[in-house]
Amino acid sequence: MENTMLIQLTNQKAIGLLHELEELQLIKVLKENIAPTNIKLSEKYRGVFTKKDAKSFNEHTQQMRKEWDNI
């Protein structure tokens, strides 16, 4: 059976679990620390802020830019 999956770890504890599964010969770790390919910032940070926080952050950023333009 040849099934290959690309997964992203969200918790460092998962690394140990994967290595244990490899020792049990249930999986084979092919590569580690693979850098993701050019992810858009909007995709990378989607869901990090609540809508309220995102709006507040955006307003703050716009205000800071206006202040820089006035210097």
Average pLDDT of span 30-38: 76
Share of the chain above pLDDT 70, in %: 97
Quote the pTM value: 0.43
Which tens digit of pLDDT belongs to each residue from 18-30? 999 999 999 998 8
**Residue 1, pLDDT above cutoff 70:** no
At 59, list the tokens.
């307003």
Q: Is the pLDDT of residue 36 over 70?
A: no
d(CA 26, CA 31): 16
What confidence tens digit (pLDDT) does each residue in 47-62 have? 888 889 989 999 999 9
Those residues with Cβ within 8 angstroms of residue 22's Cβ, 6 or more apart along the chain or in another chain? 28, 29
Report domain extents, the chain.
13-33+40-69
